[in-house]
Every structure is written in C-alpha cells, then in structure tokens.
C-alpha cells in the first residue's frame, strides 16, 4: 500500500468533531458532573448507613478498615471530579 493510498486517521465525522459543538460538550460535562456527584453521594451515604448499622463512626479501627477502603475512594473521586467538571466562569474580555 502506497503512502497516498492510506486512509486518514482523523476524519470530519469523528467523535472529536462532535465535541466542538457546544450542545454536545455541555451535555457531556453535565453527564460527567452528575456521575461524580453520584460517587460523592454514594460514599457519604455508605459511610452514614454503615455507621448506623454497626454503631461506630471510627473507620481506622482494625476491624473497620475494610469500609474505609470502599468509601474513601468514592468520596475522593467524587470531590475531585466535581472540581474538574464544574461550570467554568467566563472572564470578561
């Protein structure tokens, strides 16, 4: 296959071209923001429900470390994702 016969890697109909549209980009930002908000809510509610069921709020105890391994990443990824995908403020020009 000669160099001129190769197919183009980037075409006008790729997914990258859809991201240029503001409607598609805004929907993706809102969907991703909602997912990270769900992670944060899941982490907080898991900690709260677990604390109510087992009547302990200290996760660093030797017998309670397993729940810490689950809810800490949920809350951490939720907070970081919310910070990354929040709506940007437009600066006046």
Distance of CA 32 to the CA centre of its chain: 6
Residue 12 lies in a domain: no
Residue 15 lies in a domain: no
CB atoms within 10 A of CB 68: 15
Q: Could you tell me the mean pLDDT of each successive run of 10 residues in the chain, 93 residues long?
A: 59 58 80 96 94 81 83 96 87 71
Residue 44 lies in a domain: yes
pTM: 0.69
Quick one: 43 exposed, middle or buried, by C-beta within 10 A (0-12, 13-18, 19+)?
buried
Residue 2 lies in a domain: no
| Rounded CA separation 44/92 (Å) | 37
Distance of CA 65 to the CA centre of its chain: 24
Structural domain of residue 73, as residue ranges? 28-87
Q: Packing angle between helix 65-84 and helix 22-54, nearest 10 degrees?
A: 160
Number of domains in the chain: 1
């Amino acid at each position: 296959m000669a160099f001129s016969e190769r197919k183009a890697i980037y075409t006008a109909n790729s997914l990258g071209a859809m991201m240029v549209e503001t409607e598609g980009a805004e929907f993706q930002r809102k969907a991703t923001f909602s997912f990270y908000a769900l992670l944060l809510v899941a982490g907080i509610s898991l900690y709260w429900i677990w604390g109510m069921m087992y009547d302990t709020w200290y996760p660093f105890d030797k017998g309670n470390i397993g729940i810490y391994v689950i809810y800490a990443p949920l809350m951490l990824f939720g907070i970081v994702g919310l910070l990354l995908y929040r709506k940007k403020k437009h600066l006046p020009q």
